[in-house]
């Protein structure tokens, strides 16, 4: 991302949610975006995931499937969706599993939509996050932590280039948060997936290889940690 | 929909009220009314001398005085009513018009001509050369007061001067005798002569009669043929006295009360049918409105769950919330009722105008009864209130904690559905599970769609059956061109005419002289028809079951129409004892005929001739190219009916009915669209969570659109099946409510109608998919992500 901007016109004037943000993320990194409320971290995540279109600056991306950097589509809903489908995995704070589908089916659905249906891999991923015994249960029948682990398995089921998460442990207690993060780190390392997570929980820094702090739409610090990826 | 419900309720209620008023005014025993008789005693194959009539009336009056009857006998009058022809000349030449002539003495008490102010002209006929023409035809035939008309009744032609136009209570529906449907305008004439005029027309002695009318003080209760109870105790006692007096005067006649007099009974049942239709029709619309309100409010409550939770957290009372959510439906209901009440009278007048055009009798007094307006609005508001109460109650019972923590969104999927759909692609399985996720709501939707289609499809199905019955037999099975009515034993001149004109002929006997007591001991009358052949004759008869009768059997073989067999519960192969022209006769039922609205027992003519002592009552003619009925034939007949005219009349009536039916049908279709649209919008709207999640996870609009399309298809197919079932049930119910001993409507499942219904619903459901796709495209994912994170 180079000099990325996301400005909003409001009746009170222009709000600069992102104001010239520049950084590079490399393959295999586990980045945590930290910042107070209203700092712009979620806006940055939305731009990263191509859910939102920046109003200025450049955002290029190197897919697992291709060589070289490509500009990430913006202002085109279908192309942005296609970009997400091919490259991005996403984990929500409230898990957002489909209640009518079983744990396994939640993963199969995403594979199917991406044209990569592979039940064996889906089961393997559930084993990876420690939920092999829950494959046929519905999300409503398992705990919040287990649901988030299913969401993680779902998000990496199609082998995304980049995995994103917004406050993915925000709805969990500390112990469960740690279990979820451990499952996530393990899955990312095993699948060689680059990840970026937004949080305001300093306790999660231990799971990152790099921490970017953001405030008022600008990066205020960008540091590698000692938790190197393997 | 509330508006439509109230509008329809007031339209139908007001229509039924005013229609009833029209009959009351016409039949009233006062100086403005026609004073409909209470009992008709007739014998069309005989003429009674004035002495015979006097002798009967005296015997009856004597018996009456010594009886325990509380009401008095107002009048006992002889009258001649005869079929005939009018020789009408216009710019296209001379036409012989099938006619009916009444000889009404000056000062008659019962069955007078009704001459309402502003809708009739002149006065009643008094002199021997005066006639009043029924106002149904004066305009079409361009007849005016002072014109001379040339008429006949199987005797010589006579000229009469028109001195008035008016109506008659036995000819409200302007159908020729023995027929249920009005002819085309100008193809049937009824004229009201004086008794002297009738004597001049028939060449009989003044006072000669073939009918005696009795008028009893007040209106004695008579049996209603469409009910299983016998309400006719009062008139039953009168008829018992009549039978005794007939015996004493040595007269052989048929005795009928109002329930047995077809033209009166058909109109009464029509009125009753209209009254009966009002309630279910309004209830059906109100139910659809109720379901729509319940579903919409539930959705509203669901979408405002967080606001409700916040309000509850801030201490707002449950009762306040409930009141708030009750106000919305009441306001909607109030507005709908007000608009419906404003528009209702114009709907009512439209229907009354239509009815007036259909039957040709003026509906003079029109008003919207306050009771109808109040009852329609009252019941609608009750329905609206209760349909709003449930969602309001649910809103007040929402648990703020569960809503704010998102727990109220959590639920466990159905294991059964998972097992049933696990073999399918996951997207397809999800579509099915999502569609069936809310079974109660879906059921309510299907019920609403079913009711809507009941209005739409049942009418279509019944119309198809009606069309089949009314036109099918006459069009496909019968080949005659003209039916020439004759006096008993007077077929020779008609046969001669046929031979002279190289026309084929076939004699038939057709007399309404059969009767039998049904399971409830109610005397049911039917027509006896004698034909030379059932397969190759000019009037072939379609068989539903069994084989055509064989002649000269010890016990005469007969076949009976489908309606009679259904009402009487008879079966083919049974032997039954029936009353044929007053004599108890055993017959063997060998077949059931179809495509017959009237209750009919078919004999081979030679068998029936032996029983009735009549060779023929009319002659069918097949006319060669270029030969038409002429005045010579007209003079030899008591009236001529042409098949094409009859068909045109029925078709024109069906066309008119179709207009009413179509209004209801399209109303039903509109409801189906509204209900389906409402459900599909809710389905898509409440799946925002799911769809947004899938969009964020990279699902393309196309794949999500395909899912929505499949859901629509599924709901459409189930809705279509439910709709066809409801429509069939409705058609059966409608046919049952229309069907009576006089008028039997079979229900035929016409596959094309069923397919039409199915495809209609599927089309409506699928047509909603673009809305879902549009919503998907318009979805602001950044905002949705915020929602999903709250």
In the predicted model, is pLDDT for residue B790 greater than 70?
A: no
B146 dihedral zone (left: phi>0; alpha: psi -120 to 50; beta): left
Contact B700 A46 (CB under 8 A): no
Residue A125 in 3-state DSSP? helix
In the predicted model, is pLDDT for residue B401 greater than 80?
A: no
CB of B647 less than 8 A from some CB of A: no
Helices A119-128 and A144-156: crossing angle, nearest 10°?
130
Question: What would the 3-class secondary structure string for B404-457 be?
Answer: HCCHHHCCCCCHHHHHHHCCCCHHHHHHHHHHCCCHHHHHHHHHHHHHHHHHHH
Contact B696 A51 (CB under 8 A): yes
Residues in chain B closer than 8 A to A81 (CB atoms) = 695, 698-701
pTM score of the predicted model: 0.68
Residues in chain B closer than 8 A to A112 (CB atoms) = 425-427
Q: Which of residues 699-758 of B touch A (CB under 8 A)?
A: 699-701, 703
Residue A229 counted as domain residue: no
Q: Which of B697, B777, B780, B787 to mutate to test the interface with A (most CBs of A within 10 A)?
A: B697
Are B563 and B604 a contacting pair, CB within 8 Å? no
Contact B789 A82 (CB under 8 A): no
Of the candidates A94, A105, A136, the beta carbon closest to that of B426 is on A105
pLDDT tens sequence across B184-233: 788 899 999 999 999 999 888 998 999 999 999 888 888 887 777 777 78
Quote the mean pLDDT of chain B.
Answer: 84
Q: How far is B402 from chain A (nearest CA, A)?
A: 14
Whole-number Å distance between alpha carbons of B485 and B506: 12
Read off the pLDDT of each residue in B498-508 and give the average, rounded to a whole number: 93
Residues in chain A closer than 8 A to B698 (CB atoms) = 81-82, 84-86, 88, 110, 113-114, 158
Question: CA dihedral in degrees (B584, B588, B591, B596; nearest 10)?
Answer: 0
Identify the CA nearest to A180 among candidates A93, A109, A120, A111.
Answer: A93
Q: In this predicted structure, what is the pLDDT of residue B408?
A: 66
What percent of chain B stands above pLDDT 70?
95
Chain B, nearest residue to A140 by Cα: B412
Residue B660 banded pLDDT, cuts 50, 70, 90: low
Residues in chain B closer than 8 A to A99 (CB atoms) = 409-413
Quote the mean pLDDT of chain A.
Answer: 88
Contact A100 B434 (CB under 8 A): yes
What percent of chain B stands above pLDDT 90?
25
Residue A66 counted as domain residue: yes
Q: Which domain holds residue A101?
A: 2-224
Chain A, nearest residue to B777 by Cα: A77
Contact B698 A85 (CB under 8 A): yes
Of the candidates A78, A117, A154, the beta carbon closest to that of B700 is on A78
Helices B2-27 and B262-303: crossing angle, nearest 10°?
160
Task: Kindly state the tokens that stand for B214.
Answer: 């009795």
Task: Kindly state the tokens that stand for B145.
Answer: 């007061």
Residue B240, CA atoms < 13 Å, CB-side half-sphere: 10
Q: Where are the beta strands (DSSP E) in B107-157?
A: 121-122, 130-134, 148-152
CB of B781 less than 8 A from some CB of A: yes
Residue A120 counted as domain residue: yes
Residue B163 in 3-state DSSP? strand
Of the candidates A108, A113, A140, the beta carbon closest to that of B698 is on A113
Chain B, nearest residue to A76 by Cα: B777
Residues in chain B closer than 8 A to A78 (CB atoms) = 700-701
Chains A–B, number of C-beta pairs less than 8 Å apart: 107
pLDDT tens sequence across B441-473: 788 888 888 888 777 777 777 777 677 766 766
φ/ψ of residue B670, rounded to 5:
-60, -45
Whole-number Å distance between alpha carbons of B447 and A125: 45
Residue A230 counted as domain residue: no
Chain B, nearest residue to A92 by Cα: B789
Q: How far is B417 from chain A (nearest CA, A)?
A: 9
Name the more confident of B576 and B174: B576
Give the DSSP H/E element, type plus range, for residue B69: none
Identify the CA nearest to B432 among candidates B714, B85, B748.
Answer: B714
pLDDT tens sequence across A56-115: 999 999 876 677 788 999 998 888 988 988 889 888 877 788 888 999 999 998 888 888
Of the candidates A93, A99, A155, the beta carbon closest to that of B413 is on A99
Give the DSSP H/E element, type plus range, for residue B673: helix B643-685
Residues in chain A closer than 8 A to B437 (CB atoms) = 100
Q: In this predicted structure, what is the pLDDT of residue A25?
A: 93
Buried b (16+ CB within 10 A) or exposed e, B7-38: bbbbbbbbbbbbbebbbebbbebeeebbbbbb
Spell out the residues 6+ positions from residue B613 whose beta carbon is closer than 8 angstroms to its own. none
Residue B261 banded pLDDT, cuts 50, 70, 90: confident
Q: For residue A140, what is the DSSP state?
A: G
In the predicted model, is pLDDT for residue B75 greater than 90?
A: yes
> Bridge-partner residues for B167, per DSSP?
B114
Q: What is the CATH number of the domain that holds A10?
A: 3.40.50.300
CB of B424 less than 8 A from some CB of A: no
Give chain A's domain count.
1
Residues in chain A closer than 8 A to B426 (CB atoms) = 101, 105, 108-109, 112, 117
Whole-number Å distance between alpha carbons of B540 and B595: 11
- Whole-Å CA distances, B656 to B356, B439, B652, B653: 12, 42, 6, 5
Structural Rg of chain B based on CA atoms: 33
CB of B413 less than 8 A from some CB of A: yes
Task: Kindly state the tokens that stand for B592.
Answer: 């059931």
Contact A84 B689 (CB under 8 A): no
Contact B700 A113 (CB under 8 A): yes
Residues in chain B closer than 8 A to A113 (CB atoms) = 427, 694, 697-700, 703
Q: In this predicted structure, what is the pLDDT of residue B519?
A: 81
CB of B435 less than 8 A from some CB of A: no
Chain A, nearest residue to B416 by Cα: A100
Q: In this predicted structure, what is the pLDDT of residue B103?
A: 94
Residue numbers in chain A where pLDDT is lower than 70: 64-65, 228-230
Residue B410 banded pLDDT, cuts 50, 70, 90: low
Identify the CA nearest to A6 among candidates A170, A222, A214.
Answer: A214
pLDDT tens sequence across B319-345: 888 888 888 888 888 999 999 999 999
Contact A98 B701 (CB under 8 A): no
Read off the pLDDT of each residue in B652-679 and give the average, rounded to a whole number: 74
Q: Which residues of A touch B (CB under 8 A)?
A: 42, 46, 49, 51-52, 77-78, 81-82, 84-86, 88, 90, 92-94, 96, 98-102, 105, 108-110, 112-114, 117, 136, 138-141, 154-155, 158, 166-167
Identify the CA nearest to B531 among candidates B577, B479, B568, B492.
Answer: B479
Contact B700 A85 (CB under 8 A): yes
Spell out the residues 6+ positions from residue B790 whose beta carbon is closer than 8 angstroms to its own. none
Whole-number Å distance between alpha carbons of B457 and B463: 10
Q: How far is B443 from chain A (nearest CA, A)?
A: 19
pLDDT tens sequence across B731-786: 888 777 767 776 777 766 667 778 888 888 888 888 878 888 888 888 887 777 66
CB of B417 less than 8 A from some CB of A: yes
Residues in chain B closer than 8 A to A90 (CB atoms) = 696-697
Read off the pLDDT of each residue in B22-42 and give the average, rounded to a whole number: 88
Identify the CA nearest to A42 among candidates A200, A184, A206, A221.
Answer: A200
Residues in chain B closer than 8 A to A94 (CB atoms) = 406, 788-789
In the predicted model, is pLDDT for residue B641 greater than 70?
A: yes
Residue A78 counted as domain residue: yes
Of the candidates A42, A100, A112, the beta carbon closest to that of B413 is on A100
Residue B472 in 3-state DSSP? helix
Residue A23 counted as domain residue: yes
Give the DSSP H/E element, type plus range, for residue B638: none
φ/ψ of residue B607, rounded to 5:
-65, -45
Buried b (16+ CB within 10 A) or exposed e, B650-673: bbebbeeeeeebebbbebbbebbb
Contact B430 A100 (CB under 8 A): yes
Chain B, nearest residue to A91 by Cα: B697
pLDDT tens sequence across B144-179: 999 999 998 876 789 999 999 999 999 988 887 767
Residue A102 counted as domain residue: yes
Start-to-end C-alpha separation, chain B: 37
Residue A111 counted as domain residue: yes
Contacts 24+ apart (CB under 8 A), B780-786: B781/A51, B781/A52, B781/B692, B781/B695, B781/B696, B782/A46, B782/A51, B782/A52, B784/B688, B784/B692, B784/B695, B784/B696, B785/A42, B785/A46, B785/A51, B785/A92, B785/A166, B785/B692, B785/B696
Residue B567 banded pLDDT, cuts 50, 70, 90: confident
Q: In this predicted structure, what is the pLDDT of residue B522?
A: 76
Give the DSSP H/E element, type plus range, for residue B527: strand B523-531
Q: Which ipTM value was assigned to this complex?
A: 0.82
Contact B698 A101 (CB under 8 A): no
Chain A, nearest residue to B421 by Cα: A101
Q: In this predicted structure, what is the pLDDT of residue A230?
A: 45
pLDDT tens sequence across B339-383: 999 999 998 998 888 888 777 788 878 899 899 899 889 988 888
Residue B170 in 3-state DSSP? helix
Residue B788 banded pLDDT, cuts 50, 70, 90: low
Q: How far is B425 from chain A (nearest CA, A)?
A: 8
């Amino acid at each position: 991302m180079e000099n990325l901007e996301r400005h909003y016109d409001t009746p009170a004037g222009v709000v600069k949610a992102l104001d010239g943000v520049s950084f590079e993320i490399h393959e295999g990194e586990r980045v945590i975006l930290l910042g107070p409320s209203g700092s712009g971290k979620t806006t940055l995540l939305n731009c990263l995931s191509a859910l939102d279109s920046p109003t200025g600056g450049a955002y290029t991306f190197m897919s697992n499937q291709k060589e070289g950097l490509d500009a990430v589509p913006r202002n085109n809903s279908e192309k942005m969706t296609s970009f997400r489908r091919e490259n991005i995995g996403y984990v929500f704070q409230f898990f957002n599993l489909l209640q009518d589908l079983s744990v396994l089916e939640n993963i199969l659905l995403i594979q199917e939509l991406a044209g990569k249906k592979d039940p064996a891999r889906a089961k393997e991923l559930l084993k990876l996050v420690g939920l092999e015994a829950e494959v046929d249960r519905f999300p409503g029948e398992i705990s919040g932590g287990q649901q988030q682990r299913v969401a993680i398995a779902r998000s990496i089921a199609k082998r995304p280039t980049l995995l994103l998460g917004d406050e993915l442990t925000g709805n969990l207690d500390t112990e469960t948060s740690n279990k979820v993060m451990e499952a996530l780190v393990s899955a990312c390392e095993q699948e060689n997936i680059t990840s970026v997570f937004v949080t305001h929980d300093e306790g999660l820094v231990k799971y990152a290889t790099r921490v970017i702090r953001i405030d008022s739409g600008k990066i205020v610090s960008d540091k590698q940690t000692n938790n190197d990826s393997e | 929909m509330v508006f439509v419900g109230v509008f329809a309720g007031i339209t139908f209620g007001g229509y039924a009220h005013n229609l009833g008023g029209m009959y009351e005014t016409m039949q009233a025993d006062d100086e403005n009314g026609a004073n409909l008789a209470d009992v008709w005693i007739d014998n069309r194959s005989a003429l009674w001398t004035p002495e015979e009539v006097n002798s009967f009336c005296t015997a009856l009056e004597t018996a009456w005085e010594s009886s325990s009857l509380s009401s008095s006998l107002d009048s006992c009058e002889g009258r001649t009513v005869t079929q005939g022809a009018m020789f009408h000349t216009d710019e296209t030449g001379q036409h012989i018009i099938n006619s009916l002539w009444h000889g009404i003495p000056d000062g008659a008490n019962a069955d007078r001509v009704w001459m309402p102010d502003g809708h009739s002209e002149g006065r009643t006929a008094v002199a021997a050369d005066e006639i009043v023409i029924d106002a149904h035809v004066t305009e079409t035939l361009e007849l005016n007061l002072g014109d001379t008309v040339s008429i006949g009744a199987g005797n010589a032609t006579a000229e009469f001067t028109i001195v008035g136009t008016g109506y008659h209570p036995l000819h409200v529906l302007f159908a020729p005798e023995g027929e249920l449907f009005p002819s085309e305008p100008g193809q049937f004439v009824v004229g009201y002569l004086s008794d002297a005029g009738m004597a001049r027309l028939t060449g009989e002695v003044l006072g000669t009669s073939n009918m005696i009318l009795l008028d009893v003080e007040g209106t004695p209760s008579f049996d209603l043929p469409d009910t299983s109870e016998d309400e006719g105790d009062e008139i039953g006692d009168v008829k018992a006295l009549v039978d005794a007096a007939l015996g004493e005067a040595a007269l052989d006649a048929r005795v009928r009360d109002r329930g047995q007099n077809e033209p009166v009974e058909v109109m009464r049942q029509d009125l009753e049918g209209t009254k009966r239709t009002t309630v279910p029709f309004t209830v059906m619309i109100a139910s659809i409105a109720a379901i729509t309100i319940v579903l919409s409010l539930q959705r509203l409550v669901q979408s405002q769950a967080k606001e409700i939770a916040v309000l509850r957290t801030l201490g707002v009372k449950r009762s306040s919330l409930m009141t708030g959510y009750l106000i919305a439906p009441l306001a909607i209901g109030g507005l709908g009722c007000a608009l419906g009440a404003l528009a209702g009278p114009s709907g009512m007048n439209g229907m009354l105008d239509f009815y007036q055009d259909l039957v040709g009798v003026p509906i003079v007094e029109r008003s919207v009864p306050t009771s109808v307006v109040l009852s329609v609005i009252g019941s609608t508001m009750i329905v609206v209130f209760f349909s709003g109460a449930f969602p309001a109650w649910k809103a007040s019972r929402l648990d703020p904690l569960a809503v704010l923590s998102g727990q109220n969104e959590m639920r466990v999927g159905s294991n059964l559905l998972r097992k049933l759909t696990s073999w399918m692609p996951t997207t397809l399985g999800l579509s099915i599970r999502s569609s069936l996720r809310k079974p109660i709501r879906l059921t309510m939707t299907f019920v609403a769609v079913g009711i809507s289609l009941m209005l739409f499809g049942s009418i279509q199905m019944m119309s198809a059956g009606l069309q089949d019955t009314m036109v099918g037999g006459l069009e496909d099975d019968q080949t005659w061109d003209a039916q020439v009515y004759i006096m008993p034993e007077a077929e020779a001149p008609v046969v001669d005419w046929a031979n002279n004109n190289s026309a084929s002929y076939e004699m038939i006997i057709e007399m309404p002289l059969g009767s039998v007591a049904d399971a409830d001991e109610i005397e049911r009358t039917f027509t006896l028809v004698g034909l030379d052949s059932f397969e190759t004759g000019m009037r072939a008869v379609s068989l539903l079951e069994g084989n055509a009768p064989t002649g000269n059997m010890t016990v005469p073989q007969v076949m009976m129409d489908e309606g009679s067999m259904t009402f009487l519960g008879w079966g083919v192969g049974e032997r039954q004892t029936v009353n044929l022209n007053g004599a108890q006769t055993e017959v063997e039922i060998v077949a059931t005929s179809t495509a017959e609205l009237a209750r009919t027992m078919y004999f081979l003519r030679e068998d029936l001739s032996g029983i009735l002592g009549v060779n023929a009552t009319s002659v069918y003619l097949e006319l060669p190219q270029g030969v038409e009925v002429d005045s010579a034939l007209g003079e030899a007949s008591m009236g001529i009916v042409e098949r094409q005219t009859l068909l045109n009349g029925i078709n024109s009536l069906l066309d008119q009915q179709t207009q009413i039916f179509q209004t209801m049908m399209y109303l039903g279709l509109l409801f189906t669209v509204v209900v389906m649209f409402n459900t599909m919008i809710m389905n898509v709207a409440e799946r925002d969570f799911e769809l947004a999640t899938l969009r964020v996870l990279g699902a393309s609009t196309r794949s999500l659109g395909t899912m929505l399309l499949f859901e629509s298809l599924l709901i459409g197919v189930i809705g279509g099946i439910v709709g066809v079932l409801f429509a069939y049930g409705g058609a059966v119910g409608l046919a049952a409510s229309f069907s009576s001993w006089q008028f039997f409507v079979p229900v035929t499942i016409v596959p094309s109608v069923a397919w039409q219904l199915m495809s209609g619903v599927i089309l409506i459901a699928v047509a909603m998919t673009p809305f879902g796709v549009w919503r998907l495209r318009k979805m602001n994912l950044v905002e949705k992500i915020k929602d999903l994170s709250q």
